[in-house]
Amino acid sequence: MGKITNEMVHTAYEVGKKINQNKISRMDGMKILTDLGMNNSSANYYIYNYIYFITGELFTGTINSYATDYYLQKILEEKGNEGLETALLSLSQHLDYYEVKSNASVKKRREIYDKYFELIENSIAEPIYADEVDSNETYSEGKTKQVLVNSYERNPIARKKCIEHFGLNCQVCDFSFEEKFGTLGKGFIHVHHKIDLATVGKEYSVNPITDLIPVCPNCHSMLHKKRPVAYTISELKQVLRESTNGNNGYSK
């Protein structure tokens, strides 16, 4: 593969944008980039990575660090913080995918992710789990238990987009932390990943609206009382209705 120049990166960004806006065809866009010296494979990656950044989807083909930084900066300039959030959701999924698939570090691109995440992190509430280990604390004899949480539930941008759509009330029992605890509970809720991880492939891309749903910690725990596949939201609602009506049994 030949060297990807900055000029190629700038042109690829504009080409990807025009294709996404249906102003030019993919074939015409590919020709523009290959005429500059990109091979077909690279041209395809650099075009579609722009589109994935815009939609928040996982991408599996890599672009270089300069392009990653440039695309994020341009999206921030053109689409503001909301556009940047979507692009970072895409990038975070790519980084997780790449590290698992290749068992390799993506340090430079993670640094770029962190740089842009700092610009929006004040608008994103981090989830809190009661039994989570603080990595900054030292415990006697090194006896700590690491709590592993579904990464889709912990992704701060996916959580934010899910909560923006559904609100902060539990979608099973309708509990509101802010109503119960006032300012202490403001913005707090867990997010449940509805899809069984065993059923999704390595190239699965999370959709914060269809795949995630806000639930209180109690209902979140109850959803996972059924194994290996958790209860659905509607099933747990039925359990709650039967319990409220004096029937504590539940059968499927």
By C-alpha distance, which of 126, 63, 66 is closest to 90? 63
User: What pLDDT sits at residue 127?
Assistant: 63
Return the structure tokens found at 7: 């000029």
Q: Omega of the bond prior to 228 within 30 degrees of 0, cis? A: yes
Using CB atoms within 10 Å of the CB of residue 30, give its burial: 0 to 12 exposed, 13 to 18 middle, 19+ buried: middle
Spatial distance between the Cα atoms of 245 and 239, rounded to a whole number of angstroms: 10
Q: What percent of the chain has pLDDT over 70?
A: 85
Q: How confident is the model at residue 231 (pLDDT cuts 50, 70, 90)?
A: very high
Spatial distance between the Cα atoms of 192 and 214, rounded to a whole number of angstroms: 6
Q: Which helix (H) or strand (E) holds 28?
A: helix 26-36
Detail the DSSP E strand segments found in 70-196. Answer: 190-193
- The 3-state DSSP class for residue 192 equals strand
More reliable by pLDDT, 252 or 93: 93
User: What pLDDT sits at residue 128?
Assistant: 62
Q: Which helix (H) or strand (E) holds 152?
A: helix 151-154
pLDDT at 136 over 60: no
- CB contact set of 208 (below 8 Å; sequence gap of 6+): 56, 89, 157, 158, 159, 160, 161, 162, 165
Sole residue written with tokens 């390595």: 202
By C-alpha distance, which of 127, 117, 124 is closest to 153? 127
User: What pLDDT sits at residue 250?
Assistant: 47
Are 56 and 95 in contact by the 8 Å Cβ rule? The answer is no
pLDDT at 140 over 50: no
Instruction: Give the number of other Cβ atoms within 10 Å of residue 230's Cβ.
Output: 19
- CB contact set of 114 (below 8 Å; sequence gap of 6+): none
pLDDT at 235 over 50: yes
User: What pLDDT sits at residue 4?
Assistant: 94
Q: Which helix (H) or strand (E) holds 73?
A: helix 65-102
pLDDT at 164 over 90: yes
pLDDT at 79 over 90: yes
User: What pLDDT sits at residue 198?
Assistant: 74
By C-alpha distance, which of 34, 21, 1, 129 is closest to 12? 34
Are 191 and 214 in contact by the 8 Å Cβ rule? The answer is yes
Spatial distance between the Cα atoms of 218 and 75, rounded to a whole number of angstroms: 39
Using CB atoms within 10 Å of the CB of residue 36, give its burial: 0 to 12 exposed, 13 to 18 middle, 19+ buried: middle
Q: How confident is the model at residue 160 (pLDDT cuts 50, 70, 90)?
A: very high
pLDDT at 43 over 80: yes
